[in-house]
Amino acid sequence: MVLLSGPRWLRSRLTDRFWRVQEVLKYARHFRGRKNRCYKLAVRSVRRAFVKSTKARREKKRFLRALWITRIEAASLEHGLKYPAFISNLLKSQVELNRKMIADLAIYEPKTFKSLAALAQRRRQEGFLAALGDGKEPEGIFSRIVHHY
Amino acid sequence: VAKTSLTSPPWPEVKLPDPVEEAKYHAEVVQKVNKMIATGQYGRLFAVVHFASKQWKITSEDLIMMDNVLEAECGDRIRMEKVLLVGADDFTLIGRPLLGKDLVRVEATVIEKTESWPKINMRFWKRHNYQKKKIIVNPQTVLRINTIEIFPCLS
């Protein structure tokens, strides 16, 4: 015969409470105060720590890029160029090094960085000359410049 | 005509050197560098390589770890083709944007294919009974750069 409900002395009791608690506490062992020992406080701290680390992983990329840009700016100012001029002229000369590489080169390969700065400076001057044009007056009636002598 | 603030451009006037003389000087420099490469008067070479959508500054006997899978077995030799920059102590070759394949040769070997440490991705909104926890394990590949060689084919 089939017994549908078990007798009252058979209960399902939790036997690995210790290990479930240790799973959370192992991430809190290096915290300060009671939250490295007491489960109730540790759960909250560990949860906040995980959420902060997820968000920080996204912001690390922004932070590192800003750091590289600061370093490139400092290095290019040593060679007499400002950062926007340096980067824009490098891109116009079809050199596609990213900011991480240029920052690393500025730290570990100063001669290479100097040559890159010279390249950017030369491209900048060529750009100025191209912007000035031939120096002649434009044709047409309404765009003719009137000379007062 | 009277001089106003717009008669001359705001940048200082620059004079470029003579193009003919410049071309001669450039040819001389290229010849010199070619000779240096041909005779082998360089020490350690470094290269900037574009690989796995990232740029790496590498030398020989270097270890590189990528956060993805490479379709090559452990112990396979790989040639990296997108080289952006090669340099030694006295000269650098800057590619616009890449250097030719007949100029540089970068060889690497696949050493290890492992998984990263388990990163925890957690989202939590307070007072809304919302939390999600996900463990992310990325496959990683470790490469060892064997050699970087350059050949004297400048012009």
Is residue B8 in some structural domain?
A: no
Mean pLDDT of A62-84: 95
pLDDT bucket at A148, cuts 50 / 70 / 90: confident
Inter-residue contact B74 to B110 (CB < 8 Å): yes
Is residue B101 in some structural domain?
A: yes
Is residue B131 in some structural domain?
A: yes
Is residue B53 in some structural domain?
A: yes
Q: State how far residue B123 is from chain A, nearest Cα, in angstroms.
A: 6
Terminal C-alpha separation, chain A: 124
With CB atoms and an 8 Å threshold, state whether A101 touches B14: no
Nearest one of B99, B98, B52 to B71, comparing CA atoms:
B52
DSSP state of B119: E
Nearest one of A133, A131, A68, A122 to A90, comparing CA atoms:
A122
Residue B67 has pLDDT above 90, yes or no: yes
Nearest one of B119, B128, B124 to A51, comparing CA atoms:
B124
With CB atoms and an 8 Å threshold, state whether B122 touches A54: yes
Is residue B12 in some structural domain?
A: no
CA nearest to A125 within chain B: B14
**Full set of structural domains in chain A with CATH:** 65-132 (1.10.1900.20)
Inter-residue contact A112 to B87 (CB < 8 Å): yes
Q: Which residues pair with B131 in a beta bridge?
A: B124
Of B57, B97, B119, the CB nearest to A95: B97
DSSP state of A65: H
* Interface residue of B92, B99, B136 to substitute, partner A, most A CBs within 10 Å: B92
Inter-residue contact B50 to B85 (CB < 8 Å): no
Mean pLDDT of B57-80: 93
Listed as own residue / partner, the contacts of A53-61 with beta carbons closer than 8 Å and 24 or more positions apart are A53/B120, A53/B122, A54/B120, A54/B121, A54/B122, A54/B123, A57/B119
With CB atoms and an 8 Å threshold, state whether A108 touches B123: no
Contacts of B122 in chain A (CB under 8 A): 47, 50-51, 53-54
Interface predicted TM-score (ipTM) of this complex, two decimals: 0.89
Residue A135 has pLDDT above 90, yes or no: no
With CB atoms and an 8 Å threshold, state whether A148 touches B1: yes
With CB atoms and an 8 Å threshold, state whether B55 touches A129: no
Is residue B39 in some structural domain?
A: yes
> How many domains would you assign to chain B?
1
Q: How many CB atoms lie within 10 A of CB B148?
A: 23
Residue A144 has pLDDT above 70, yes or no: no
Is residue B102 in some structural domain?
A: yes
CB proximity list for B7: less than 8 A, separation 6 or greater:
B1
Is residue B142 in some structural domain?
A: yes
Inter-residue contact B142 to B114 (CB < 8 Å): yes
With CB atoms and an 8 Å threshold, state whether A111 touches B92: yes
CA dihedral (A65, A68, A73, A75) in degrees, to 10, reads: -170
CA nearest to B136 within chain A: A54
Domain that holds residue B97: 17-148
Lowest mean pLDDT among B4-8, B67-71, B139-143: B4-8
With CB atoms and an 8 Å threshold, state whether B84 touches A131: no
**Does B20 contact A at CB distance below 8 Å?**
no
